[in-house]
Amino acid sequence: AQTVTQSQPEMSVQEAETVTLSCTYDTSESDYYLFWYKQPPSRQMILVIRQEAYKQQNATENRFSVNFQKAAKSFSLKISDSQLGDAAMYFCAYRSHNNNDMRFGAGTRLTVKP
């Protein structure tokens, strides 16, 4: 079974600075999808960014980018120019190509200091 590991329970960043959240996963599959979701205090799950495993190019969405290392099974999220509104729980998630369900990491709580 696939597992997703987020080794940083909490992270803190100064407003306007950059922070990187770590995620590793374990799988024997070659085709899959990786995601980062944000969960603010409202508990709504918000998709931040996704990456298809067959794509070598790292996904980027405005201030959010990933460092996808397929061989190392690593999928870190970089948040540039951090804003107060970025404060939330961040979950890394894995979904195989053939299955529908999604497996989540334990989450990283990000605090943004003004």
Partner 1 sequence: GAVVSQHPSRVICKSGTSVKIECRSLDFQATTMFWYRQFPKQSLMLMATSNEGSKATYEQGVEKDKFLINHASLTLSTLTVTSAHPEDSSFYICSARDVENSPLHFGNGTRLTVT
Give residues in contact with partner 1 (CB under 8 A). Answer: 33, 35, 37, 42-45, 47, 50, 91, 95, 97, 100-107
Beta carbon of residue 16, minimum distance to partner 1 (angstroms, whole number) = 28
Beta carbon of residue 56, minimum distance to partner 1 (angstroms, whole number) = 18
Nearer to partner 1, 15 or 26 (CB): 26
Nearer to partner 1, 20 or 52 (CB): 52
Q: Are the C-beta atoms of 88 and 96 separated by less than 8 Å?
A: no
Beta 3-5 vs 46-52: how paired, if at all?
unpaired
Q: Of 109, 75, 78, 73, nearest to 92 (Cα)?
A: 75
